[in-house]
Amino acid sequence: MLDERWMKSSRSNAGGECVEVRSPDGRQVHVRDSKYREAGALAFGSDAWRSFLDDLKTGRL
């Protein structure tokens, strides 16, 4: 996931209440609230992000 653009999930609703993600260098994933972009973003290592997504998909979270 190497991308300078902020992306939203294809499952995001029209109300705009979602998170946006990007991976500018392939080593980190940046996550921000689409409603409060000016508040900044959280950065996670790519391995931690992958583990988080795996836990969501398998129902562990």
pLDDT digits (tens, 9 = 90+) for 6-46: 998 877 777 767 889 999 888 999 999 988 889 999 999 99
In a domain, 28, yes or no: yes
**Distance between terminal CA atoms of the chain?**
22
Count of structural domains within the chain: 1
- DSSP category for residue 52: H
Q: Is residue 35 assigned to a domain?
A: yes
Residue 49 located in a structural domain: yes
Range of the domain at 38: 3-7+18-58
Q: Tell me the pTM.
A: 0.78
Q: Is residue 24 part of a domain?
A: yes
The answer to whether residue 13 sits within a structural domain is no
Considering the domain boundaries, does residue 22 fall inside one? yes
Helix or strand holding residue 17 (H, E): none
